[in-house]
Amino acid sequence: MTLKDAKVGQTVRVVKLTGSGPVKRRIMDMGITKGQAIEVVRVAPLGDPMEVTVRGYELSVRKADAQMIEVEEVA
Protein backbone atom coordinates (compact mmCIF):
# COMPACT_ATOMS: atom_id res chain seq x y z
CA MET A 1 0.00 0.00 0.00
CA THR A 2 1.25 3.53 -0.69
CA LEU A 3 0.57 6.79 1.14
CA LYS A 4 -1.69 7.78 -1.76
CA ASP A 5 -4.03 4.90 -0.80
CA ALA A 6 -4.31 5.92 2.88
CA LYS A 7 -7.65 7.34 4.04
CA VAL A 8 -8.29 10.61 5.90
CA GLY A 9 -7.81 10.13 9.65
CA GLN A 10 -5.68 7.02 9.17
CA THR A 11 -2.22 6.73 10.73
CA VAL A 12 0.35 4.75 8.77
CA ARG A 13 4.04 3.88 9.15
CA VAL A 14 6.60 4.27 6.36
CA VAL A 15 8.01 0.94 5.17
CA LYS A 16 10.04 2.03 2.15
CA LEU A 17 10.72 5.03 -0.10
CA THR A 18 10.72 3.96 -3.75
CA GLY A 19 11.59 7.30 -5.34
CA SER A 20 15.08 8.21 -6.49
CA GLY A 21 17.25 11.26 -6.98
CA PRO A 22 15.80 14.69 -6.20
CA VAL A 23 12.31 13.29 -5.56
CA LYS A 24 13.56 10.97 -2.80
CA ARG A 25 15.68 13.79 -1.34
CA ARG A 26 12.62 16.12 -1.25
CA ILE A 27 10.57 13.45 0.55
CA MET A 28 13.34 12.84 3.09
CA ASP A 29 13.82 16.60 3.62
CA MET A 30 10.18 16.71 4.77
CA GLY A 31 11.07 14.27 7.55
CA ILE A 32 9.43 11.29 5.89
CA THR A 33 11.81 8.40 6.51
CA LYS A 34 11.55 4.65 7.08
CA GLY A 35 9.68 3.84 10.31
CA GLN A 36 8.11 7.31 10.60
CA ALA A 37 4.42 7.56 11.51
CA ILE A 38 2.25 9.70 9.23
CA GLU A 39 -1.34 10.81 9.88
CA VAL A 40 -3.47 11.76 6.88
CA VAL A 41 -5.31 14.97 7.82
CA ARG A 42 -7.14 15.80 4.59
CA VAL A 43 -7.06 15.23 0.87
CA ALA A 44 -7.93 17.89 -1.71
CA PRO A 45 -11.12 17.20 -3.71
CA LEU A 46 -9.15 15.99 -6.72
CA GLY A 47 -6.67 14.08 -4.53
CA ASP A 48 -3.75 16.46 -4.99
CA PRO A 49 -2.23 17.51 -2.60
CA MET A 50 -2.59 15.45 0.56
CA GLU A 51 -2.25 17.19 3.92
CA VAL A 52 -0.39 14.98 6.42
CA THR A 53 1.09 15.33 9.90
CA VAL A 54 4.68 14.13 10.34
CA ARG A 55 6.60 14.65 13.60
CA GLY A 56 4.01 17.23 14.71
CA TYR A 57 4.27 19.28 11.50
CA GLU A 58 1.52 19.60 8.89
CA LEU A 59 2.84 19.10 5.37
CA SER A 60 1.43 19.01 1.86
CA VAL A 61 2.50 16.01 -0.21
CA ARG A 62 1.92 15.77 -3.94
CA LYS A 63 -0.03 12.77 -5.18
CA ALA A 64 2.93 11.67 -7.33
CA ASP A 65 5.26 11.81 -4.31
CA ALA A 66 2.75 10.00 -2.07
CA GLN A 67 2.71 7.15 -4.58
CA MET A 68 6.44 6.62 -3.95
CA ILE A 69 6.01 6.12 -0.18
CA GLU A 70 5.17 2.54 0.77
CA VAL A 71 3.32 2.35 4.10
CA GLU A 72 1.60 -0.08 6.43
CA GLU A 73 -1.33 0.50 8.77
CA VAL A 74 -0.56 1.20 12.42
CA ALA A 75 -2.66 -1.01 14.69
Comparing CA positions, the residue from 36, 34, 30 lying closest to residue 60 is 30
At 20-41, the pLDDT tens digits run: 888 888 888 888 999 999 999 9
Q: Residues 6 or more apart from 15 whose CB is under 8 A from it? A: 34, 70, 71, 72
For residue 42, the model assigns a pLDDT of 93
- Of the listed ranges 1-5, 10-14, 21-25, 69-73, the least confidently predicted one is 21-25
CATH architecture assignment, domain 3-73: Roll (2.30)
For residue 70, the model assigns a pLDDT of 95
pTM above 0.75, yes or no: yes
For residue 48, the model assigns a pLDDT of 81
